[in-house]
Structure formats: structure tokens, C-alpha cells
Amino acid sequence: MKLLKNCLFAGLTALALLGAAKVTTAQETDQVGRAPYLESLKGKKVIFVPISQGMDLNQSWVVVWQRHAARYGFSLEVRDPNGDTNAGIRAMQGAIAEKPDLIIVQNPDVQTYARLLKQAQSAGIKVLQVNMQSATQTDSYVGNDWIEMGRLEMGELAKHCTGPNAVSHKVVWLAGVQTGAANIYMRTGIDEVLKANPELQLVSDQPADYMSEKARQITETVLQQHPDLCGIMGIWDNAEVGAGAAVAAAGKQDQVTIVTNGAGSATGCESIKNGLLDVIFNFNAPIQAEIAAQQISELLQHPERQAGSEKTIFFGPITRVDKTNAVGRNCWKLDDLK
Amino acid sequence: MELAGSGKSDGGRIGLKLSQELVVVAISVILFVVFSATLNNFLSRGNIIAILKNVSILGTLAVGMGFIVVGRGIDLTMVAVMVVGVAFSIWISTWGVDFTLAVICGAILAASIGLFTGIMVAVAEIPPIFATLAIASSVYGSGRIVFASDVLYAPPNIAWLKFVGSGTILGIPMSVVIFAAVAALMGFFLRKTRFGRLVYATGDNPNAARTTGLPTRPIIVTQYVISALIAFTAGIIMTGLVTGIDTRLYNSSLIYDVLLVVVLGGIGLSGGQGGVRNIIVGTILVGILTNGMTILNFSYTSQNLIKSVILLCALAIDAIINPRDEQTSQSGDI
């Protein structure tokens, strides 16, 4: 009888231990914080108002965010104004009226959405700005350090055009849209380099408005005025191919250095390979998109924090790409990101 | 019978008409002299060629627009047809279709759009300004959905495309040669063919033309098809020059620049008058002006402002020189 009691006791103890072990195992395999993370993102609504979805950087951002949204169960809607500022204002007004959990916005310039962004924050909507800032600072900005970009590009020209073997000290700045944040801040960086290198001569600073044909026309005209031009810097690789075409048509590819920046897509690398561009400072849009995705997660995880109560800035990495490294991750294709 | 396009039409209006063209020529000469005296290298051979090269696309488009305006129409679809037609060619070439064949397909698409526009204007009788505005938007919108990207690059190493972009004939860039050829063909077509004369007659008074038995509808439809093909040609020149096509040009002021050239050159919006010479005069003025403003470092916005003011003045001069009379009011306007 005693033996039976002992066996029963031993069996029950074993069962209890097994059960406890099971419970412990179950607790250990549930990654700490994962459940509340999933819970905080699930069913949330994010609206993105870009400048235009026809641009390489926008497409890569959205591919990355859509992957993130599908994995963690929040919705991402893109309201594309297709480069039309008025349509952008309407898209922003519509987005604010819908009261999503987060608005992501790429500003066409520093002023247009400034008041709307304030309205969104007052309405309790968190706002993440990407790559192009507004005069209004919001919860977060993820994108380029444009002043640094100006320094890097003009610094590159300073290297080429101030040495003893430089053909001249003449450089050109082919701006984009002059009221855009990128232009305004890049100009600050450019001016710093020009101040540090007084021998550099900025012989033209025409805006090409991100248009390759306009960039070509300006370059063609400037080359007539300054046949000894040393360098050209621009703001988007897809536009500066026009400058490259004008330089190539004048047979001055060895003389004129063309520096620009871009999202890092394969077309930019092709332009380097076929000699239309020399250096692209690549801000790698897919990496920017990943940083922004983390910001989306953070902003959605803390609904208790009031919109606009914290202001964060993340500058993405910038890689100098020339013909020695125009390969691999420096030259993404949209299909690679999907 | 000499028509208005030759500048030798009915006596009472000769002086005024010549004056408008002469005013534009005079402004061009004054600007040319002032820029030559004040700007370095403006008068160099290279810069003169640069001016011509830079207006070749604008001028080519203006030839198409001028052709339509002579027939009392307006074609706001030109830039949309240009970018979408060429983008379509590049897009299908990425499937492995030979680029030359793809360009032919693009031309067929452009012609089909022109045909549709022509039918809307001539048969459905939608006023051209509204019909073409709506069609331009639809064409660009459809293209934007299909191509996804704004900028499309032509395949590399297409010999004839490279020749269009950087080749020369007797030292003259191919883009300028193409513009000159399109202008010469149009000049011949308008002045020397029966069809050209019918275009003037239709533009002068569509109702009278129809009453007298002229086939006004087929004439209008053909005009829009030709204009679309000219727009496509301009797109091919652009692709040759910058290795690709930027469809966002649709959102730029290019279509207004084209209108500026046409109206500035002296082709009245009330139709039935003017010719290729007016277009060349307008193109040269805009070319000199743009070149000078670029050298003087005027911003893009100020350049557009100056061009818009000049367009407004040209429209005002047009209204004075070609006043709306009872006949034109009754027969309608664009």
C-alpha cells in the first residue's frame, strides 16, 4: 500500500514537474515584447503623401513599407499627387480628415504643407517626414542630411578643380526646384565649401527643375560661355544625365567632372558606366525606407505619446559611388526589393 | 490665289500682318545685338548652334501646333503624345522588341491618339481646347499608370538614335536638321498642296468651308494625326539628345512655350492665316531670349514669368491685329 502511495506520489510529482516545465518552455519561447508589438501595429492606418510615385526613391520606399505593413498587419495607403502641389494639398487635407494613426509626407518645398502639418499634429495625428523637410518640424524626419550632401558634392568638385592640374576653377550648380528643402539646405553646404575654397568660381547656378532636357540646355549654353569648365554638380542623377549628354556632345567628358546625388537605383549606375556621370552620392533609398519603417513602428507603438511631443531626426547613410563601385547594393532594382 | 500664310493676302491687312511679324523680327534683332555686345561668346558659332539645338524640340512641336492653329484649332495633347508615345516605345523595347520596331509602334500609337482627338473635334464637335485638354490628361494618366516610372531610358547602342542625338550634317546638329526638315515639309504642304489650301479655308471660316462642299471633317482629323506624329518626332529628338524621356515634361510649361512660339510668330488664334515662317520667327525669338536669360543666370521661375508676359502681349497684339468680327463670332472660336 505504501509502495502504491509512493508510486502515485512520484507519478503526480513527475506530472506536475512536466507541466511546470511545459509552462516554463512556453513562456521562454514567447519573445519578450513581441505580443504587445504586434498588438500595437495591427489594424493601424498609415497614409503616405509623396511628391510623385514616378520617382525611383518613392517606389523603393513604398515597396519596403508595404512589406513591413503586410508582415505586421497595419495598412499603408499612398495618395499620389503626381507632382502637382495643389493635388498634394488636397491629399493632405483628405488625410487629416480621415484621422489615420500616422501620416508620412514627402514635402515638395519647405512652405506648402507647413500649416497642414501643424493642423495634423493638433488633430493628434503623428507625422513622419521623409527626405524633404518642411519648415514645420514634426514627430520625425527620416532622410538625407542635405547640408552634408551640398558639402560632399561641392567638396568633390573642389578636389578636382582647385589642384595645380585643374583645367580651371569654374564650377556649375544645377539646382532642382529652388524652394525645395534639398536645394535650400544643399546651398548652405555648397556655400561653406565655396567660402573655404575662394579660388572656386561658381559660374552658373541655374535650376534645371529636375528635368534632364533643361539640364542639357543649360549645360550646353554654359559650355559655350566657359569652354574651360571644370565641374558640374546637380541634385538628381536622372536629371543630370542631360548635363552629361551636353558634355559628351561637346567632347569634354575628360575635362568636366559631373557630380550628383541619387537614390542609388541601377539607372544611376548605368549612367556612370556609360560615362554620362562621374560621381553619385548615393543616399540608398531602400536603407532610408528601412530606417523609416522602424520609425513607423516606434510611432505606432506609443499611442500614449501626444503627436508632436517628441521630435526625432534620422539621417541615412551616404555612399560615394563612381565607376569603381557602381555594382551590387549601390545599384538596386525595384524587383530586388520586392 | 495667294493665301494669308504667304503674307500677300488682301490689301487692307497686309501692313498690320507684316508689322506683327516684323515687330518680332525687330525684337529678335535688338536682343541679338544687345546680347552679342554684352555677353561673352554669345556671338560664337558654337553658341548660335547651341541656340538652334536648344529650340529644335520646341520648334518642331510649334510646327505641329501652328498647323493646327491655322485650321482654327488648338492641340494641347502634343506634349502628352510626345512623352507617352516615346515612353511606350521604350517600354515595349524592354520586352525584347527591336527598338526600331518599337518606335514604329509608338508612332502608330501617337497617330491613333491624333485620330481619336481629330474625331472628337471634327465629328463630336467638342471645342478643341476642351477636347485636347481632356485627352492630354487621359493620355498622360494612362501612360503614368502603365509605365510606373517617370523617366524611361532608351536601350544603349542604338546607332540611329545616337546619330539623332549627337550626329551632324555639314556641322549642323541632327536635331536642327530634323526641325528644318519638318518645317520645310510643312511649309511646302501648306503653301503648295491643295490640302494645305483647304486647311486655310477651313480655318478661315469652317461653316463657309463646309457649306461650299469642302471635306472639313476629314481635313481636321488629318491635321490632328499629323500634329501627333510631329509631336512623336520631337520626342524622338529629345530621346536622342538626353538618352531617355522624362514623362514629367507633361507637367512643365512646355505646351505653353509651344503656344507662345506660334502666337508670338504671328499665327492668329482665329485661324486661316500665318505659316511656317511665323513659327520660325517665333522660335528664333524664344531661342535667343532663353539663351540670354540662361547666360544671365535668370531663375527658371523668372524665365517662365518673362515668357508668360511676352505671350500675354502677343495675344493682346493678336486681338488688335485680328479683331473678332461678326463673321468669326458666328463661326465660333477655339
Secondary structure (DSSP) of B166-209: H-EETTEEHHHHHHHHHHHHHHHHHHHSHHHHHHHHHHH-HHHH
Whether residue B10 is predicted with pLDDT greater than 50 in this model: the reply is no
Question: Looking at beta carbons, which residues of chain B come within 8 Å of A224?
Answer: 41, 44, 46-47, 50
Instruction: Collect all residues with Cβ–Cβ distance below 8 Å to B150 and sequence separation of at least 6.
Output: A52, A54, A55, A238, B144, B246, B247, B248
pLDDT tens-digit map of B38-96: 988 899 999 999 999 999 999 999 999 999 999 999 999 999 999 999 999 999 999 99
Helix axes B194-204, B174-192, angle to 10 degrees: 80
Q: Considering only the beta carbons, identify the residue of B54, B156, B242 that sits closest to A241.
A: B242
pLDDT of residue B148: 81
pLDDT tens-digit map of A223-276: 999 999 999 999 999 999 999 999 999 999 999 999 999 999 999 999 999 999
Query: Cell 536669360 maps to which residue?
Result: B293
Distance of CA B32 to the CA centre of its chain: 23
Whether residue A54 is predicted with pLDDT greater than 70 in this model: the reply is yes
Instruction: Give residue B236's pLDDT band: very low, low, confident or very high (50, 70, 90).
Output: very high
Asked if the Cβ–Cβ distance from A213 to B47 is below 8 Å, we say no
Question: What are the residues facing A129 on neighbouring strands?
Answer: A105, A141
pLDDT of residue A10: 63
pLDDT tens-digit map of A99-150: 999 999 999 999 999 999 999 999 999 999 999 999 999 999 999 999 999 9
Please give, rounded to a whole number of angstroms, the shortest distance from the CA of A80 to a CA of chain B: 11
Asked if the Cβ–Cβ distance from B243 to A276 is below 8 Å, we say yes
Number of residues that this document lists for chain A: 338
Whether residue B299 is predicted with pLDDT greater than 90 in this model: the reply is no
Question: Looking at beta carbons, which residues of chain A come within 8 Å of B166?
Answer: 245, 248-249
Question: Looking at beta carbons, which residues of chain B come within 8 Å of A176?
Answer: none
pLDDT tens-digit map of B79-94: 999 999 999 999 999 9
This prediction has a pTM of 0.86
| CB contact residues (below 8 A), chain A span 139-158, against chain B | none
Please give, rounded to a whole number of angstroms, the shortest distance from the CA of A161 to a CA of chain B: 21
Pairing state between β A231-233 and A126-130: unpaired
Contact (CB, 8 A) for A233 and A170: no
Asked if the Cβ–Cβ distance from B242 to A248 is below 8 Å, we say no
All three cell numbers of A307:
503627436
pLDDT of residue A2: 62
Q: Considering only the beta carbons, identify the residue of B40, B50, B241 that sits closest to A245.
A: B241
- As a whole number, mean pLDDT of residues A69-97 equals 95
pLDDT of residue B41: 85
Least confident segment among A283-292, B214-223, B295-304:
B295-304
Please give, rounded to a whole number of angstroms, the shortest distance from the CA of A30 to a CA of chain B: 42
Question: Looking at beta carbons, which residues of chain A come within 8 Å of B54?
Answer: 217, 220-221
pLDDT of residue A264: 94
A-to-B residue pairs, Cβ atoms closer than 8 angstroms = 104
Q: Is B216 helix (H, G, I), strand (E, B) or coil?
A: helix
DSSP A135: S
Instruction: Give residue B8's pLDDT band: very low, low, confident or very high (50, 70, 90).
Output: very low
pLDDT tens-digit map of B255-279: 988 998 998 888 888 888 889 999 9
Asked if the Cβ–Cβ distance from B50 to A220 is below 8 Å, we say yes
Over chain A, what is the mean pLDDT? 91
Please give, rounded to a whole number of angstroms, the shortest distance from the CA of A32 to a CA of chain B: 41
pLDDT of residue A179: 84
Percent of chain B whose predicted confidence (pLDDT) is above 70: 90
Q: Which residue of B has its CA nearest to A58?
A: B149
- Rounded-to-integer distance, Cα A35 and Cα B285, Å: 69
Question: Looking at beta carbons, which residues of chain B come within 8 Å of A55?
Answer: 149-150
pLDDT tens-digit map of B169-213: 999 999 999 999 999 999 999 999 999 999 999 998 888 888 998
Question: In B, what residues contact A, Cβ < 8 A?
Answer: 39-41, 44, 46-47, 50, 53-54, 57, 144, 148-151, 153, 156, 165-166, 238, 241-244, 246-249, 251-252, 290-291, 294-295, 297, 299-301
All three cell numbers of B40:
561673352
E strands in chain A: 45-49, 75-78, 102-105, 126-130, 140-143, 170-173, 201-204, 231-233, 257-262, 279-282, 312-315, 319-321
Asked if the Cβ–Cβ distance from B54 to A217 is below 8 Å, we say yes
- As a whole number, mean pLDDT of residues A305-315 equals 93
Whether residue A14 is predicted with pLDDT greater than 70 in this model: the reply is no
Closest CA to A232 of A211, A249, A217, A215: A215
Q: Considering only the beta carbons, identify the residue of A59, A84, A274 that sits closest to B148.
A: A59
Instruction: Collect all residues with Cβ–Cβ distance below 8 Å to B155 and sequence separation of at least 6.
Output: B90, B93, B94, B99
Question: Looking at beta carbons, which residues of chain A come within 8 Å of B41?
Answer: 224-225, 227
Instruction: Give residue B141's pLDDT band: very low, low, confident or very high (50, 70, 90).
Output: very high
Whether residue B128 is predicted with pLDDT greater than 80 in this model: the reply is yes
Q: In what order do the strands lie in the sheet with A279-282?
A: A201-204, A170-173, A231-233, A257-262, A279-282, A319-321
Question: Residue A328 is which amino acid?
Answer: G
Asked if the Cβ–Cβ distance from A225 to B39 is below 8 Å, we say yes
Percent of chain B whose predicted confidence (pLDDT) is above 90: 62
- Rounded-to-integer distance, Cα B211 and Cα B227, Å: 26
Contact (CB, 8 A) for A225 and B291: no
- Residue A146 exposure: Cα atoms within 13 Å on the Cβ side: 22
pLDDT of residue A3: 58
